[in-house]
Amino acid sequence: MRAVKIKKIDAFRWELQQEPGMLVPGLVYADERMIHALVNDESLGQVCNVAMLPGIINASIALPDIHTGYGFPIGGVAAFDRTTGIISPGGVGYDINCGVRLIRTDIPADALLASGNSISKIHDPSVPTRNTLLERLVDTLFTNIPSGVGSRRKDVRFSKGDLDRIAVGGAPVIIEQGYGFPDDREYLEENGSIPGANPDAVSDRAKERGRDQLGTLGSGNHFVEVGYVEDVYDKHAAGIFGLIPHTVTILIHTGSRGFGYQVCDDYLRTLGNRASLDNVVLPDRQLVWASVQSKEGRQYFSAMNAAANFAFANRQLITHWVRESFEQVLGSRADKLGMRIVYDVAHNIAKEEEYLIGGKHQKVIVHRKGATRAFPAGHSGIPEQYRTVGHPVLIPGDMGRYSYVLVGTAQTLRETFGTVCHGAGRVMSRGQAVRSAKGRQVVQELKERNIIVRGASRATINEEIPEAYKDVANVVDIVEGAGLARKVAKLHPLGVIKG
């Protein structure tokens, strides 16, 4: 295990001091307890490795959901000079634009518990959950939204030409085909369509893997969660976002499926071969890279943007199935139920953005690996409707506790390139979680806590036991304590479908 020198800056910031080869220091956001838990984790060494990549600016950054990833740590952020820097598939990840979408409603949460408990009793384990509209709804969602490894929806087919148009146009292409409300795109990062995508940079294998997977949840930590607004911390911002206490919410967490996975795999191989031919010395073989301005760098960037647009379209189709499921169970149209998208944010992405660096405006390529943007009030890159408060930052937790909505602060632009954490972060590997869950009835345990769970397999659910994750409240407290973001609302789960 690599020894890393750590210097405390303040209660929430820690510097990884430069060692030979590092071009900038590491900057880790954590509290005292978390940093001590990370000392023996490989993720801090990965932060140091990223600091060795050409063209990196200011620092190699790790947010409090940090854990070991492929090349970059998950929860890692790094910006590279647009002209002299690099782009790295390991800094984006296999699931390109894995992201989260939040839908609000006008539905009182008690309405889903009509034949059983009220919200005031829902936390009381002595009051058992009865068969409710909630259970019917979760079962309907599980039926309507394909989930699990290799999942596909048989009644919706897309041609190769359709897929190329989606790769370029993203969610708006799907919305124009009737899968959404006309104004949905206004509430998506980049309006659900990142420019610069080129389907010609994507392999036929990636397109073939992705073609039947649009509108599917996939496996692993992906989910659709029905919950409700449990607490509001900022009434003004919550009001602008349409988050009303004790009303139903829906979180959708998924990405680019086999399409994005194959794009990453293809370019890891291509760039690895290039590095070998050029005798490039890498701090970690998983950190293959290309110069931003090189042919290979431009090709990967175009293919990555195509996968990101695929992911936006994927979440848009799932949003359509979610709305249809609510209509089927509640017998009312989705628009009448107030089922409006609050926001959709990308994780696992590299974006060209401009920041004030050293007193000058500079274009950089920001890698967010298991991290999400958090642009504050007044930023031109967010919907006009949210301009006075900043865009919603969506931080899901595990399926047994809670999730948060935040807004970024101006400090994020100065310190973390407008970025905060994307979730709780794992503390157990999937294998460790499965071993921990052996002999347990996890679905029943959660039902006794008044949370209905459905999954593609028992193994998937066991991999996602709540204790496999950090307490997201602690993670959120760190980013708020560091001044990077501000809490707006807490969401509590009622029903979850897992891939």
Cα distances (Å, whole numbers) of residue 313 to 215, 257, 404, 446:
8, 11, 24, 31
Residues 444-494: tens digit of each pLDDT: 989 998 899 998 888 889 998 889 899 999 999 999 999 999 999 999 999
Cα four-point dihedral sign 298, 312, 384, 77: negative
Q: Which of 105, 117, 18 is nearest to 60 (CA)?
A: 18
Contact assessment for residue 65 and residue 344, using Cβ atoms and an 8 Å cutoff: no
| Catalytic residue (one of 67, 222, 391, 422) | 422
Alpha carbons 290 and 276: distance in angstroms, whole number: 12
Residues 31-58: tens digit of each pLDDT: 999 999 998 889 999 999 999 999 999 9
pLDDT at 118 over 70: no
Placement of tokens 């807004």 in the chain: 407
- 391 included as an active-site residue: no
237 in the Ramachandran plot: left (φ > 0), alpha (ψ -120 to 50) or beta?
Answer: alpha
Alpha carbons 252 and 101: distance in angstroms, whole number: 5
Alpha carbons 182 and 369: distance in angstroms, whole number: 31
What pLDDT score was predicted for residue 499? 77
Q: Which of 418, 420, 416 is nearest to 405 (CA)?
A: 420
**pTM of the entire predicted model:** 0.95
What pLDDT score was predicted for residue 117? 55
Alpha carbons 351 and 77: distance in angstroms, whole number: 11
Average pLDDT (343-349) is: 97
What pLDDT score was predicted for residue 152? 64
Residues 167-191: tens digit of each pLDDT: 999 999 999 999 999 999 999 999 9
Contact assessment for residue 93 and residue 110, using Cβ atoms and an 8 Å cutoff: no
Virtual CA dihedral for 371, 374, 380, 383, nearest 10 degrees? 100
What pLDDT score was predicted for residue 29? 98
Query: What's the CATH number of domain 6-498, 3.40.50.720, 3.30.479.30, 1.10.287.110, 3.90.1860.10?
Result: 3.90.1860.10
For residues 74-108, one letter each, b for 16 or more C-beta atoms within 10 angstroms of the residue's C-beta and e for the rest, the string is bbbbbbbbbeebbbbbbbbbbbbbbbbbbbbbebb
Amino acid at 246: H
Using CB atoms within 10 Å of the CB of residue 195, give its burial: 0 to 12 exposed, 13 to 18 middle, 19+ buried: exposed
What pLDDT score was predicted for residue 365? 98
Report helix, strand and coil shares of the chain as percent, to nearest 5.
35, 25, 40
What pLDDT score was predicted for residue 122? 52
What pLDDT score was predicted for residue 458? 86
pLDDT at 115 over 90: no
